[in-house]
Each structure stands twice: as C-alpha cells, then as structure tokens.
C-alpha cells in the first residue's frame, strides 16, 4: 500500500509595493542599476505581483514618500512597501523593507554620511520589519542580528548583467573602442568612476608612482567619469608625482560599451575607502579581468578569492598588486569569470522574495 505524497506548499502570491524613486537621475548610477535590474528580475519570475511606485515629475520626493506613498498600501491592497534605499514611508499599514547600501562614516568617508543617512541607518532600521544589505561587510558595519540569528537583517547580493562576459558577442570586436575612447593599445588599468574622493584615486596614483620609481613598465591609468573638483585635485597630484603622461580621462563610458572596455583592460582597480558592494569589481571579474581591491572591503568580498587585495594606504602594496594583476591577466581570465556567474539578478530577486515571504 502506497502512501499519498504530502501536497507541496507554496507561499501565496502577494502584491508588494516597490519604491522605484531611486531610478531617477538624482541617484548614483549603481543604485539605479540595482533598482532597474532587481525589479525586472522580480517581474520576470512572476511569483509575486510587483507594483512600481514613483513620484510624478516635479513632486518633492520626501513629501511624496511620507504623505502619499504610505496611502498606496491601503488603496492598492499591498502587503507593504519595499525601499531600495534607507529612507522609507514610515506611516500607514503594511510591512516595511529597508535597504542600507553602506555605512561610510564608519570608514572616515563624508560622502552620504550626513545626519539624514545616519538617522535612517540607525532609527529606520529599528522601525523597518526587515533590513537588506548587499554584503556581509555592510552587515557587520550595522551590527544587527541576521535572520539566521533571529534578527531582521538579510544579506542580498546584487547581480551582474549577462552582457558582462569574457568573450564579446559574435560579430562584435572590442578593439574598435580603443579609438572611440582614446585608449592605448598597450596595457592599461581602469579606475571606473574614480572622480569622487571616496574612490581614493590618490591611493592608485601613489601606487603607480612607486611602479615608476622601480623602473619597470608603467601601465596607462584610465580614469572614467565626469569632470569633478575631486578629479581635478587628483590630476594635480598626478602632475606632482610625474605621472601626467600615464593618466588619461576619456570621460563617461557609454553603458553598452562598458563590457568591451573591461575586456580590453589589463586590470581594474577599486580602492574605495567605502563601498557597499562594488559593481565595477564584479563586472570586471565577469569579463575575466583581474581586479585590485582594498583588503577586507566589500569589493574584496564580492570580487572573490582571486582578487588582488592590497593596503590602499601603502604605495608599495598597491604597486605590487597592480603588477601581479597585470601579469596574471591571461591565466585568470576564465577562472575568475566563473566566480561571477553565481551573481545573477534572478538570484537577487529570489532572495528578495524570501525576505517578503518571511514577513508574511
């Protein structure tokens, strides 16, 4: 006599409101990408109904979030609101999920370290029903108990787009980008978006200067991003260090060209003093390009065991890391790309679903 198998139990589908206001140009490109890709993956999975909520053009974001957004929970029959930033609608019914990307003031960084960010990281985390961070590094900074420990904190890593691969798509040639962005044909190192103080371009420059002092080959350093006061200050430092001929600033790299530029690079360097995740590091690894990262950092956690970890305050350490990464370029190409394939936006979406199902 056979016993009938117990029926499978699934969490019932629910309608979840997602604050999509962080997709506006006022937010950093990395945050915008996280929101866009996470929502698209959640919608593609179709397990729960995704209700995108964003303020009308010209409406004050703070007023909308705290006076209008909370009302959407009841009027649209939502189980709650999910915020991709630390601020969220406090009033009204339903659950609240908060996202804290990083805690920069714990690392001596002033960017995004004002009282509002500190308030939301401290007191918002008390009010939220669940808190999401993208790395265990940030989770340790927050000091909250994880869900496994009976707390409300969940580590949900971000993903990497499928177009970031170690080989270009069939019919495409990456080398055409050399002329478009005035890139050298020899070895070059990328410092993506290192035009803000927290990105620590100065640390890279001091490491490059130490390479020059040693008399060996010096790679070209390509610093992407807009012209900013911080960039001008660091270019002045490059001049003092005798590095002017080794530093190029092509400006902004178009999004569709970024995978090709990453594949052309000999290495990517991310020495930020504070990061919550480090998408450039992961995208570089996905393209088979070695990364040089600050030791014991979020970007080191994301880049994996084959990243070259250095002390960003020690020029000889940075110089050693740059040289080692360039020399290992071809040997590591396919090894490190395999590590990045575990980071998918579908996995991110599945983790977000589990957070909401735990609240139900």
**pLDDT by residue (tens digit) across 59-89?**
888 889 888 898 899 899 999 999 999 999 9
| Contact call for residues 305 and 332 (beta carbons, < 8 A) | no
At 113-145, the pLDDT tens digits run 999 999 999 999 999 999 999 999 999 999 999
pLDDT at 337: 93
Determine the 3-state secondary structure of 134 from DSSP: coil
CA–CA gap between residue 233 and residue 116 (Å, rounded): 28
Predicted local distance difference test score (pLDDT) of residue 281: 96
Domain edges within the chain: 15-159+344-359, 176-340
Burial 174-193 (b: 16+ CB within 10 A, else e): beebeeebebeeeebbbbbb
pLDDT score recorded for residue 63: 87
Phi and psi at residue 109, to the nearest 5°? -105, 135
pLDDT band at residue 8 under the 50/70/90 scheme? very low
Which pLDDT score, from 0 to 100, does residue 237 have? Answer: 98
Instruction: For strands 188-191 and 247-251, give the pairing.
Output: unpaired
pLDDT bin (cut points 50, 70, 90) of residue 200 is very high
Q: Please say whether the dihedral angle defined by the alpha carbons of residues 18, 22, 24 and 29, taken in this order, is positive or negative.
A: negative
Tell me what pLDDT residue 295 has. 97
Q: What is the pLDDT at residue 11? A: 56
Mean pLDDT of the chain: 93
Kindly report the CATH class assigned to 15-159+344-359.
alpha beta
Q: 101 in helix, strand or coil?
A: coil
- For the stretch 208-219, pLDDT in tens is 999 999 988 899
pLDDT digits (tens, 9 = 90+) for 299-355: 999 999 999 999 999 999 999 999 999 999 989 988 999 999 999 999 999 999 999
Query: Same fold for the domain at 15-159+344-359 and the one at 176-340?
Result: yes
Nearest CA to 85 out of 76, 95, 74, 96 is that of: 96
Specify the length of the chain in residues. 360
Question: Which superfamily does CATH assign the domain made up of 176-340 to?
Answer: Glycogen Phosphorylase B; (3.40.50.2000)
Does residue 1 surpass a pLDDT of 60? Answer: no
Predicted pLDDT at 12: 64
Q: What is the per-residue pLDDT across 26-62, written as a single tens digit (0 to 9) for each?
A: 888 889 999 999 999 999 999 999 999 999 888 888 8
């Amino acid at each position: 006599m056979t016993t009938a198998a117990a029926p499978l139990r699934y969490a019932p589908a629910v309608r979840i409101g997602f604050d999509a206001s962080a997709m506006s140009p006022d937010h950093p490109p990395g945050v915008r990408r996280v929101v866009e890709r996470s929502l698209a993956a959640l919608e593609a999975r179709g397990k729960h109904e995704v209700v995108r909520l964003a303020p009308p053009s010209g409406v004050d974001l703070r007023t909308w979030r705290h006076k209008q957004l909370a009302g959407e929970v009841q009027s649209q029959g939502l189980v709650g609101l999910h915020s991709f930033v630390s601020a969220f609608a406090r009033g009204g019914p339903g659950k609240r999920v908060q996202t804290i990307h990083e805690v920069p003031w714990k690392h001596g960084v002033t960017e995004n370290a004002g009282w509002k960010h500190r308030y939301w990281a401290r007191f918002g985390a008390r009010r939220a029903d669940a808190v999401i961070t993208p790395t265990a590094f940030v989770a340790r900074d927050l000091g909250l108990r994880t869900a496994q420990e009976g707390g409300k904190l969940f580590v949900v890593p971000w993903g990497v787009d499928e177009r970031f691969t170690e080989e270009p798509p069939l019919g495409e040639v990456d080398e055409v980008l050399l002329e478009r962005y005035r890139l050298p044909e020899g070895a070059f190192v990328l410092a993506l978006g290192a035009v803000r103080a927290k990105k620590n371009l100065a640390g890279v420059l001091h490491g490059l200067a130490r390479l020059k002092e040693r008399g060996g080959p010096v790679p070209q350093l390509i610093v992407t991003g807009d012209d900013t006061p911080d960039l001008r200050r660091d270019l002045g430092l490059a001049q003092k260090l005798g590095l002017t001929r080794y530093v190029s600033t092509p400006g902004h790299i178009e999004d569709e060209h970024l995978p090709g530029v990453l594949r052309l690079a000999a290495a990517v360097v991310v020495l930020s003093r504070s990061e919550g995740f480090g998408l450039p590091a992961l995208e570089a690894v996905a393209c088979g390009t070695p990364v040089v990262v600050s030791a014991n950092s979020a970007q080191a956690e994301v880049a994996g065991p084959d990243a070259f970890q250095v002390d960003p305050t020690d020029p000889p350490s940075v110089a050693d890391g740059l040289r080692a990464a360039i020399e290992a370029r071809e040997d590591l190409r396919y090894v490190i790309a395999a590590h990045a394939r575990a980071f998918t936006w579908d996995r991110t979406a599945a983790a977000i679903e589990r957070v909401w199902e735990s609240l139900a």
